[in-house]
Amino acid sequence: MPRRGKKYRNGVEGLDRTRTYELAEAVAGALKAGYANFDESFDIAVRLGVDPRHADQMVRSSVMLPHGTGKELRVLVFAKGEKETEAKEAGADYAGSDELVAKIKDGWLEFDRTVATPDMMAEVGKIGRILGPRNLMPNAKLGTVTFDIERVVKEIKKGKVDFRVDKAGIVHAAVGKASFGTDKLVENISVFMDRIIQLKPSSSKGVYLRSITLSTTMGPSVKVDPLQVRSLLK
The pTM of the full predicted model, rounded to 2 decimals, is 0.84
Ranges of H-type helices in the chain: 6-13, 23-33, 81-90, 98-105, 121-124, 128-131, 149-158, 181-198, 226-233
CA atoms of 146 and 152, how far apart (whole Å) = 8
CA atoms of 141 and 27, how far apart (whole Å) = 31
pLDDT under 50: residue ranges of the chain: 1
Q: Where are the domains of the chain?
A: 19-69+160-233, 75-158
| Best CA proximity match to 118, nearest among 96, 93, 99, 139 | 139
| CATH number of the structural domain 19-69+160-233 | 3.30.190.20
CA atoms of 11 and 29, how far apart (whole Å) = 9
CA atoms of 13 and 168, how far apart (whole Å) = 29
Give the pLDDT of residue 36: 85
Give burial (CB, 10 Å; 0-12/13-18/19+) of 115: buried
pLDDT in tens, 143-166: 999 999 999 999 999 989 989 999
Give the pLDDT of residue 1: 44
Which long-range contacts does 162-165 make (Cβ < 8 Å, 24+ apart)? 162/61, 162/62, 162/113, 162/135, 163/60, 163/61, 163/62, 163/63, 164/58, 164/59, 164/60, 164/61, 165/48, 165/50, 165/52, 165/58, 165/59, 165/60
Give the pLDDT of residue 24: 96
What separation in angstroms does the CA of 78 have from each of 130, 133, 155, 160? 15, 18, 17, 19
CA atoms of 230 and 209, how far apart (whole Å) = 9
CA atoms of 4 and 141, how far apart (whole Å) = 41
C-alpha Rg value of the chain to the nearest Å: 19
What separation in angstroms does the CA of 105 have from each of 109, 116, 132? 9, 17, 13
Angle at alpha carbon of residue 71, lines to 65 and 75, rounded to 5°: 95
| CATH number of the structural domain 75-158 | 3.40.50.790
CA atoms of 152 and 28, how far apart (whole Å) = 32
